[in-house]
Structure 1
Amino acid sequence: MKHAHPSHIRREFYKSVGFYLRLAWPIFSTMLIIIVTVGLIISYLEGWDPFDGIYFGFVTGLTIGYGELVPKLPLSRILAILLGFNGVLLTAIFAAISVRAIETAVRVTEGDK
């Protein structure tokens, strides 16, 4: 049984990721806009610099949570929880796209035999 060359599989994987990201881009872009917007709202409420709010939005949304920026107000904390849920969903969608792209790349390269 002859196996496909790894570089061919990688190339097919990247093509598939690009295809599925373009397909899911309306969802992705909406979720990214939510992260930025909610981060800016939190920065306004907490009196932070706008860039700090965007940074906080991504650090929280991607569930990294360094802890150097901590919201104190109840509304800011509720919004931070929503950022976390949004980020988990964003990560899950990207993981699903990656798995699907791997499946597609393997199927395409197996079909080349």
Structure 2
Amino acid sequence: MINPKMSNVHFSRLFIRLFFKLLVLTFPAWGILFFTVLMLGVLFSVTEEISFFNSLYFTFITAMTVRYGDITPDTDLGKVLSVCMGIFGIVTTGIIVAIALQALKMAYEKSNKNANREQTTGDRDRRSL
């Protein structure tokens, strides 16, 4: 149970702070994957002869596994690149979700640790009276 004395705003701030701290620490892992997806998008732009911005749009929509269908690959290499974008996107998303869950766990544990410390201090104060 989350510390009832800790407000939702405080817990949310703690979670967000831990989430971004973990994002920075794990940047090499998800950063390489993100960069790879971007490079696949550039290669897709050249292969399919579409604008750079349309290619980036297609890349992120594919990596997030949304795929609206407004842009589709016409060449075999474009289709292979699309599959790679999807796979790298799923892995990148999985890493970021795992980071979020770890930050949530750490925030929960820290709030319980603070609650236990406050409870112990309160018990000691009551015994001294």
Question: Above 0.5 in TM-score?
Answer: yes
| Counterpart among 49, 64, 67 of residue 65 in structure 1 | 67
Identify the residue that residue 107 of structure 2 maps to in structure 1. 105
- C-alpha distance in structure 2 between counterparts of 1:38 and 1:5, whole Å: 44
- Per-residue CA distance 1:10-55 (angstroms, 9 max, x = gap): 1110111011101111122212211111111111111100111111
Distance 1:88 1:55 in 2: 16
Identity %: 26
Farther-moved stretch of structure 1 (3-12 vs 97-106): 3-12
1:11 maps to what in 2? 13
Give 1:27's aligned residue: 29
- Corresponding residue for residue 124 of structure 2: none
Match of 1:51 in 2: 53
Q: What amino acid sits opposite 2:42 in the alignment?
A: L
CA distance in 2, matches of 1:91, 1:40: 20
Structure of greater Rg: 2
- Gaps in structure 1 of 5+ consecutive residues: none
**Runs (5+) with no aligned partner, structure 2:** 116-129
TM-score for the superposition, normalised by structure 1: 0.94
Which 4+ residue blocks in structure 1 deviate beyond 4 angstroms?
none
Q: Count matched residues.
A: 113
Question: What is the SS of the residue equivalent to 1:112?
Answer: helix
TM-score of the aligned structures, taking structure 2 as reference length: 0.83
**Quick one: distance in 2 between partners of 1:6 and 1:19?**
20
